[in-house]
Structure 1
């Protein structure tokens, strides 16, 4: 008996020792306090001018969501007016500036920046090239072949706008980067990291007006793809692109001559769903949304998906006679549709606000297949229930949400307003912010501006690129938003919506914030950051190394020859300028090849 008791004591002591070794310690923190230089937003005067196609100035933003410093080893540039690159500390971002010589004739402007990841043998390079005076003749190659993560060529989305590279992971965990998306089920992949965190301690990508990925004209109004469409890809692809919070505005559309005849449930985007006359249009049908969610959850079980649903009201085909409030029949028809969503989570414990439940409470539901949670804004529901707990539909106030909409068109004012609104929120400890904060990182242009320049243009040229230098700079292990809601998730080039043309910055921002930044807060993450521990089974969920090339038109090569590096400058001409200011007087082979 004494022997058994002694063994039990030894085992217990060993367990305490392991737990102590595994505990998150403030002294192990790697998140840098260093501030990188302030960046530049795309000016409205450039965005709104046809002359922007001749703009010579651009930016390359590098986001470091790893415990390693990115060290600039050297640069060289030829006939570039500006080539300003620098180190990127841990947890920080840097907007690097370049400026081509603005000539009308064919150009051979070029430059390369070489980085190494401190404490590792990993390297990457950023290469810029100009072949003409127009924006689409100027490109950047993100070359991560030195990390076994491939290469990708991007054209800039507009004059004085940015191309972005996000890198997360570590030498022990493995590195990952935003050149392409990984598997869709990123939450299940990092389950061991997030399972014990309450939902208010997660970071989730989100989409604004999520169902408006196309214009379907189910209501007769002046809303068009320029001023009413907010996304370029459907719900299924938004899920694959990392989104886990969806802003769905659902309404029923009714026959002009017979209001009792419901022509179907559709996502809508209108100026005021209750106004006598409303302006806007319809997007995906509710049937399409349901089918797309079911396809994703079938392929990627175990995720946590929030659907924030509002409107819940009817409109005539010609929306000029006010709303049609739902009665029992329309409510039951809507409920019947929602019952077709797989992996709903009925009868959750509503005595605990959802933001206070651990992620595993939801992700383990349905035998580990995860949760699709409907949160209803029932302000337009008058004589019908505002939730159906037994069917997995909950009132919005079941989660304590603070939703900040700036209602600003100008990115120069929008970004600081959003950042200041989450920067004061402290996470973890006795003064923990107990609510779930939604950041709406999106412009609200007036009717004239949105019609002239399009919501897509605002998103991909001004607003989304600024997230990765300004927004990231405003986040820390103690302060971050729970949802980062954007327009046109994944779209990098205007009207290029096919999957192989999408960029993956938001996908990897979501993973990197949860894996690295939030894990550095010991009041939130009680165990040692997964990125500073030895590689475990969790990280095996990511894709294997890939060293292919993705070209600007979406074509790709999975197995290129080792010497193929598009845009690489093989010969350094006389006049080439190096990082230390040295100017090359004779033409030589590039020693960094």
Structure 2
């Protein structure tokens, strides 16, 4: 009898194992991505950048990005004295730009509206609350995700006719994450089990355009100012914490006027032309500071892959009017010595097939699981015939062209986001950005950089600032238009942004940043790419059964892959106000912007107009 019982137990275990393996396989029938048509995105009109015009605007948007297998169902809305309050369902894998327009005068303090959503197939809910105030930042939105145990956050619209964005990813089985605040920092390590077997060309990461220009250091004497030359609001360390993994670094040596032999250090540089007789622009962070910040981040967040494409690599005099100083072998080796100060470099990697074809684990597992920091040199100004080195693989320093031979870096060079966005989307929806079955003819071998940024002329950038161009028309359009240009078969590998993490002008303190790019990176890799069975051989982790997830979590905890990250993850259901005030443990009934009484004149979502005031039935 004992033998029979043992045989039955073994048979049952084998059946459970087979069932688990079958459940773990990616199947086309599991696909949840919706091809439903959503309203086309609107772009901020150029004239709204004028602070006088933008300050009088009453039209705005709230964009909701759904990177989950659940439909976001609009349950109900009500609006009081709003000219427009157009909200709707958000299908799986899509974004919806919801339109609102206040009554029409800047001083009204009682315009209000609420939209209530149900996350289909779950007990989760969330609400979007729009208010008008009589003073200060008058037009605000409260994203209330307390019904998902993800907290609440109040935002001010960054400009006239622009958007506040909300990104949600995860699932009811896996857990949800939203862009109200940043995660632990190491999002690639967090997704290790999801992305480890995928080649780099199947990943999607945020990047920082002109990453070293988070300050103006005036190491050269030129007319470049913060308005027309600075491109980031936070330094490299905080850009890393905000999710960036690809850093467009333009490094130059600065030399004493008339004395090429005297070097005043290596600096991030942003100029109109690094080889022009007269360069116009300015310097940013020092290379020493950049290296120290990267080392700080990797010490705190082991297990990431950080790409450092380095260009310019020339010298300029303090007064940059006498052309470039091309580096000789000695100066280049001095630069290499600086790069050797980067921790977690990865020596002697195989470049024969291109990094884009290597699985992510090839990099993530290096340095005993601490990951890779990859200096990648654009060598166009380094003269190999004069003995100038192009790389040092033994030190983990690589020639960008050899490491990524199929890299496509697409710059639209357009001034308007309404022109740039369709151009970028068309590129990754072409064969350039197609992600089919691994090794099939439909699977592009390109590594595609999408420069999601506009290029205003000198007059416009000085008048309206590069920061406002980023925060008002450009970055919000990534979530309203760019996301809807991505599907499980088409995406860029890197999305370069200006002012990553910044939501409101000159609000650069860490607690003032928002986590749209960070959450988008997690969602696109976790949800979108996992819907493609040519990319994800395993079933999407968002759809796996609870028993399989439990077994996987046991294995993860045993191997320690996510152990430290899991310790850092704590449930948070607090409130972040627009002025930066944070309540970690607010009273359960506190929902700022909530309308307790629906006034006479309130318009319900079904078109009914209330003739008398009544208690809000959705509170």
Q: Please give the range of the TM-score, normalised by the shorter of the 2 chains.
A: over 0.9
Matches within 5 A, 1:67-466: 67-132=69-134, 136-382=137-383, 383=386, 384-397=388-401, 398-399=403-404, 400-424=406-430, 425-429=433-437, 430=440, 431-466=442-477
Matches within 5 A, 1:8-27: 17-27=19-29
- Structure 1 contact 25–522 (Cα < 8 Å) conserved: yes
Taking the aligned partners of 1:80 and 1:299, their CA distance within structure 2 comes to 47
Taking the aligned partners of 2:506 and 2:347, their CA distance within structure 1 comes to 39
- Structure 1 contact 102–133 (Cα < 8 Å) conserved: no
- Which digits, 9 at most, give the CA deviation of each residue in 1:190-237, with x for residues without a partner? 100000000000000001000000000000000000100000000000
The one of 16, 25, 31 equivalent to 2:33 is: 31
- Structure 1 contact 132–138 (Cα < 8 Å) conserved: no
| Farther off after superposition, 530-539 or 45-54 | 530-539
Closer, same or farther: CA 14–143 of 1 in aligned 2, 3 Å: closer
Quote the residue 2:58 is aligned against.
56
- Which digits, 9 at most, give the CA deviation of each residue in 1:466-509, with x for residues without a partner? 00010000000000100010000011100000001001000000
- Which digits, 9 at most, give the CA deviation of each residue in 1:274-322, with x for residues without a partner? 1111101000000000000000000000101100100011000000001
Helix, strand or coil at the partner of 1:367:
helix
Taking the aligned partners of 1:416 and 1:532, their CA distance within structure 2 comes to 32
Taking the aligned partners of 1:444 and 1:34, their CA distance within structure 2 comes to 33
Helix, strand or coil at the partner of 2:197:
coil
- Structure 1 contact 83–98 (Cα < 8 Å) conserved: yes
Offset of 1:20 from its aligned partner? 2.5
Helix, strand or coil at the partner of 1:402:
strand
Taking the aligned partners of 2:336 and 2:7, their CA distance within structure 1 comes to 58
Quote the residue 2:589 is aligned against.
563
How many pairs were matched up? 590
Helix, strand or coil at the partner of 1:439:
strand
Q: TM-score, normalised by structure 2?
A: 0.93
Closer, same or farther: CA 573–30 of 1 in aligned 2, 3 Å: same
Closer, same or farther: CA 19–77 of 1 in aligned 2, 3 Å: same
Offset of 1:545 from its aligned partner? 1.8
The runs of at least 4 consecutive aligned structure 1 residues that moved more than 3 Å come to 3-18, 538-542
Closer, same or farther: CA 417–532 of 1 in aligned 2, 3 Å: same
Offset of 1:10 from its aligned partner? 9.8
Quote the residue 1:586 is aligned against.
612
The one of 465, 474, 489 equivalent to 2:485 is: 474
Closer, same or farther: CA 49–495 of 1 in aligned 2, 3 Å: closer
- Which digits, 9 at most, give the CA deviation of each residue in 1:113-154, with x for residues without a partner? 0001000000000000001488x2110000000011000000
The one of 477, 480, 505 equivalent to 2:516 is: 505
Stretches of structure 2 that go unaligned for 5 or more consecutive residues are 557-561
Taking the aligned partners of 2:77 and 2:18, their CA distance within structure 1 comes to 50
Closer, same or farther: CA 15–592 of 1 in aligned 2, 3 Å: closer
Taking the aligned partners of 1:582 and 1:159, their CA distance within structure 2 comes to 29
The one of 455, 473, 496 equivalent to 2:507 is: 496
Taking the aligned partners of 2:19 and 2:166, their CA distance within structure 1 comes to 40
- Which digits, 9 at most, give the CA deviation of each residue in 1:320-344, with x for residues without a partner? 0011111122111111111110000
Offset of 1:591 from its aligned partner? 1.2
Quote the residue 1:529 is aligned against.
540
Offset of 1:172 from its aligned partner? 0.1
Helix, strand or coil at the partner of 2:207:
strand
Quote the residue 2:494 is aligned against.
483
Helix, strand or coil at the partner of 1:324:
coil
Closer, same or farther: CA 422–76 of 1 in aligned 2, 3 Å: same
Q: TM-score, normalised by structure 1?
A: 0.97
Offset of 1:13 from its aligned partner? 8.0
Offset of 1:16 from its aligned partner? 5.2
Closer, same or farther: CA 356–578 of 1 in aligned 2, 3 Å: same
